[in-house]
Structure 1
């Protein structure tokens, strides 16, 4: 089993709180903060750095994490935008199967069409709910509200059996759970959570043949030769997934390349082992206190019914968690320690 490089983690992170809220926003590594400062300073000085190089480095890094070639990865800013691209590709009346209570960016654009048949099923029953006529199954790999993990192999098998495409949002799992973007048709992910990037960075993985998608919002950056595509209609769209690029938030991408490099350096397997050990410690402590979290085995997100009301007082005490529909949600990541877990448990006991 790979072990986490704790010395490297300590060199990159120095939170002043007990931060257990990565499912909302991940902390930025020191290398990322420094690079973004340099990028901002370069523009203030009138000598802007070439941050488009950072976009390409970040794209390549995420591609390695996702297990696909970089030419299948689009770089943007919003999962909802890419969900909208998929929604727009579906014929009128097509059926889309989603999980009950999934994150809105993953599902709402399908409802926004108005002429699609959007059906929901419990997360655990998604595979069984696929049926003849289902055109697309859209689901998050890990649920934002409570950390439950989708059975992606079963969902993919059911989708293939009925000729449906699959769309998986890995925003709450990329960075601690291995991503196999080649196993589904479309994959999206924000990067400001478990991938430790600044806000404004999102990736979208498409099939080599683009999976029937149209680059509806293509601008100059989507051209095969961007700097020759600045005026009038884009004469030649990029031959790669870059045709689905949004105009990038350059300062964010300047930092993102270094955050993603850190994730690669530490290793997803080592991060996962560390995160899950802390989550399991918290679950055991909850049991001793008489609390039962939402079952989410194998997830570093732990959601405890009825304790969300404690969030304000915990925040006042320097312990950052979330209140999600009355549940206390704690999320354990690479910069957390056993003492963080124990501090939260002690606060809940008091």
Structure 2
């Protein structure tokens, strides 16, 4: 039976509730990747056309993020793009992060060795910004338990104290509408809620580049890439493209199709759908006597149930375990029936 939200775009053979680890690929995305592989096998590689599709992926993400495409840089991983922000900070700069936040966001600052890395509980983060804080870095939605950061309060506190902001939107964009332009930098891995192949990551920067140095700049970062293939790149792109790394074609060709699907359905509709399923699960958990981590999120974490993941897998229900919590993540390809299957498995029915 087709999902009323996503139609026949997905074909899971399990009750897949693990988007917080990796999203499922739409049929259209898999078809695009297969076509590109076939073109490569047959010697029909058309890089000019492929680059045009990559640019369309940039544009589609920009619309979802609420920024101009000129503010979006392309990369492969969160840590890779966060490292550009870390490298731009002067020695001794203070970076404030949430306790227990995802390592790919935090560790690029830690390995510098000459920065002051300070942590505070997520709910206390806005109050922890102080004079001398150079940057606040936080995930919009926490990977371990689905808690949603108070980004409005955090941005206001950062402005008050002259700090820049970096938001990791990997666990948010695709189900939680978010104005990326409200922050200095955002980073978003697309393989979770944007249902894209792994190897696609977007970085948004201010119009002036936000003081970043394009340390990874190769020929694709040139204003005229095809004239920048040899020797020093004489003119870097005037847009955020100067921070691009050469795109992994297969993931990006697929991502363009995935992003088109997210646009067609609409983040608001996806948010309403996902939250309704999460609320159904929370209500069912209460009836079973379990207390999930409080919040209004598409990710539901249940302390004390991590050991149930193995039996759930045997029952055909895919979840994950993070920080000892059983973590279920509800997305556009899930249904109320999936929630009921999960609850029935947890109850031993």
In the superposition, the TM-score normalised over structure 2's length comes to 0.98
- Contact 1:51 1:251 survives alignment (8 Å): no
Of 16, 22, 25 in structure 2, the residue corresponding to residue 28 of structure 1 is: 25
Per the TM alignment, residue 103 of structure 1 is displaced from its structure 2 partner at its CA by: 0.4
Q: Residue 312 of structure 1 aligns with which residue? A: 310
1:140 equivalenced with 2:139 (yes/no): yes
Per the TM alignment, residue 316 of structure 1 is displaced from its structure 2 partner at its CA by: 1.7
1:68 equivalenced with 2:41 (yes/no): no
1:80 equivalenced with 2:79 (yes/no): yes
Q: Residue 236 of structure 2 aligns with which residue? A: 237
Structure 1 pair 295/7, CA: closer, same or farther in 2 (3 Å)? closer
1:101 equivalenced with 2:104 (yes/no): no
Q: Deviations over 1:138-157 (max 9, x none)?
A: 00000001100000000000
Q: Residue 224 of structure 1 aligns with which residue? A: 223
Q: Residue 40 of structure 1 aligns with which residue? A: 37
CA distance in 1, matches of 2:3, 2:309: 28
Structure 1 pair 151/8, CA: closer, same or farther in 2 (3 Å)? closer
Q: Which segments of structure 1 move beyond 3 Å, counting only runs of 4 or more?
A: 5-8
Per the TM alignment, residue 193 of structure 1 is displaced from its structure 2 partner at its CA by: 0.3
Q: Residue 301 of structure 1 aligns with which residue? A: 299
Of 327, 332, 335 in structure 2, the residue corresponding to residue 334 of structure 1 is: 332
CA distance in 2, matches of 1:257, 1:8: 19
Per the TM alignment, residue 325 of structure 1 is displaced from its structure 2 partner at its CA by: 2.0
CA distance in 2, matches of 1:121, 1:200: 31
CA distance in 1, matches of 2:269, 2:197: 22
CA distance in 2, matches of 1:120, 1:269: 32
Q: CA RMSD in A?
A: 1.0
- Contact 1:20 1:330 survives alignment (8 Å): yes
Structure 1 pair 341/7, CA: closer, same or farther in 2 (3 Å)? closer
CA distance in 1, matches of 2:74, 2:124: 32
Aligned residues: 345
Q: Residue 346 of structure 1 aligns with which residue? A: 344
Q: Residue 160 of structure 2 aligns with which residue? A: 161
Per the TM alignment, residue 179 of structure 1 is displaced from its structure 2 partner at its CA by: 1.6
Q: Deviations over 1:120-141 (max 9, x none)?
A: 0000000000001000000000
- Contact 1:55 1:75 survives alignment (8 Å): no
CA distance in 2, matches of 1:158, 1:323: 33
Mapping of residues 127-206 of structure 1, within 5 Å: 127-206=126-205
Structure 2: unaligned runs, 5 residues or longer: none
